[in-house]
Amino acid sequence: MRRAVVTLAHPGHAGMLRALRILDDAAMSRGWELRYVVPEHTSLVTDSGLPRERVTVVPGVADWRRPLRRLALPLTLAALARAARGADVLYSETLSTFPLCWMVGRLTGTPQVVHVYSSYGAARPYRKHWLERARHVVAPSADSLALAERAIGGFAAGTRARVAYNGMDVARIEREAAAPLPDGLPIPPGPRVGMVGNLDWRKNPLALVEATALVREQVPGVQTLLIGEFAGEEMRRRVLARVAALGLDGQVHVTGFLRNPFPVVRTLDVLAHPALRDPFPLALLEGMALARPIVASAVSGIPEMLADGESGLLVPPDDPAAMARGLVALLSDEPRRRALGEAARHRLHTHFSLDGFANTMFQAFDEAVAGGAT
């Protein structure tokens, strides 16, 4: 049985934890055991189902570039080296921990695999996180991989880079969606549109608010749910101020973070995703699992996920008018909504399976071991 040590700097990121749970469930059948290093043991880590006895807390793996953390860098590297003792591979689930894994890997002779889940708008973050030193690279979409490669001026000779499309546990999503709606959460009557995710500038909730005002002109009773938590007080103020300015109080609803959003998602007539940038959004895969018709920005890996006009509608990014046209088209056509939702679910089964994701990831681990530390 081989062992991979997984470093995760963001234990509050539910999507990344869900991806790790998928790998953990598949690991033993592929001859692997996964152990985890996180900066703190959050409730989300517990809720993810990752075995607590295989989770080690090393606070320095988060924000390790900050001045105080840098002073403790030797201690952080020593703690990570102890956690990685006997490991066959060091796996950075995000770029931010890759320099730590690279340093420990060089000291211990352990190969490293890095997952480029982020899609940055500039080259500097890729270079800051030493991606040019990586020899085994995984990305969630072809777009993300190409963006990363361009940022560093091309991968070094001999680097193995591949795309691992995330898979989705459809049966689990269906079970969780069948649970009762959260206590005290109002689900307004009327046509419902919603988006799911961390409500930050990348997910662009303001665009959906603006689109809602336009949709209301043709669908007066439309209700919009922002399912998630705002990324900071400034974003909350901006969005709610715009809701008030457009007279959308009572039509735009913010749920806050939901540990199980799927009972709410299944009530949506249309799932919207107005992102400015998003490598391969799990929220859309989850919506596909529930056969929700989708209107999404044609950015990053989303066009790889959805076939425009067949399994979803793709619109230009940061274009509320285009988003509104797509939403109105579906809200006014129930048969088309149903057809797009079923096509999305079928595409999930045929293109983004759990086995496909796990096979690609463990193949990357196996090849890293075969290649040795470099």
Same domain, 111 and 92: yes
Same domain, 35 and 161: yes
Highest mean pLDDT among 16-20, 36-40, 293-297: 293-297
Same domain, 198 and 249: yes
Query: Cα separation of 200 and 235, whole Å?
Result: 7
Same domain, 301 and 360: no
Half-sphere exposure of 148 (CA within 13 A, CB side): 33
Domain that holds residue 135: 2-167+353-371
CB 7 within 8 A of CB 102: no
Domain count along the chain: 2
Same domain, 183 and 150: no
Same domain, 155 and 193: no
Measured in degrees and rounded to the nearest 5, phi and psi for residue 204 equal 65, 55
pLDDT digits (tens, 9 = 90+) for 297-329: 999 999 999 999 999 999 999 999 999 999 999
CB 264 within 8 A of CB 194: yes
Q: If you ran DSSP here, which 8-state letter would residue 52 be given? A: G
User: For the ranges 25-39, 131-145, 179-193, which has the lowest average pLDDT?
Assistant: 179-193
Q: Is the pLDDT of residue 272 over 70?
A: yes
Same domain, 209 and 283: yes
Query: What SS3 state is found at 193?
Result: strand
The CATH number given to whatever domain includes residue 114 is 3.40.50.2000
Same domain, 94 and 239: no
Same domain, 192 and 317: yes
Same domain, 183 and 308: yes
- Position 374 scores a pLDDT of 56
Average the pLDDT over 284-291 and give the result.
97
* Structure-block tokens of residue 263: 């009972």
* Structure-block tokens of residue 349: 């089964």
Q: If you ran DSSP here, which 8-state letter would residue 59 be given? A: G
Average the pLDDT over 336-353 and give the result.
96
Average the pLDDT over 177-200 and give the result.
90
* Structure-block tokens of residue 129: 């996180």
Question: What stretches of 28-152 show up as alpha helix (H) in DSSP?
Answer: 43-48, 67-71, 73-83, 98-108, 124-128, 142-151
Those residues with Cβ within 8 angstroms of residue 252's Cβ, 6 or more apart along the chain or in another chain = 209, 212, 223, 224, 226, 243
CB 7 within 8 A of CB 61: yes
130 alpha-carbon distance from chain centroid: 22
- Position 94 scores a pLDDT of 87
Residue recorded with tokens 């949709």: 215
Same domain, 82 and 180: no
N- to C-terminal Cα distance for the chain? 23
Q: Is the pLDDT of residue 373 over 80?
A: no
* Structure-block tokens of residue 304: 């790889």
Mean pLDDT of the chain: 93
- Position 372 scores a pLDDT of 66
Q: Tell me the angle at which helices 73-83 and 98-108 cross, rounded to the nearest 10 degrees.
A: 70
Q: 234, exposed or middle or buried, with CB in 10 Å at 0-12, 13-18, 19+?
A: exposed
- Position 347 scores a pLDDT of 97
- Position 118 scores a pLDDT of 79
pLDDT digits (tens, 9 = 90+) for 83-96: 999 999 999 998 99
Query: What SS3 state is found at 355?
Result: helix
Q: Which among 40, 51, 52 has a CA at the least distance from the CA of 13? A: 40
Q: Is the pLDDT of residue 162 over 70?
A: yes
Instruction: Report percent pLDDT > 70 for the chain.
Output: 99
- Position 35 scores a pLDDT of 96
Q: Which among 57, 52, 44 has a CA at the least distance from the CA of 16? A: 44
- Position 69 scores a pLDDT of 79
Same domain, 181 and 268: yes
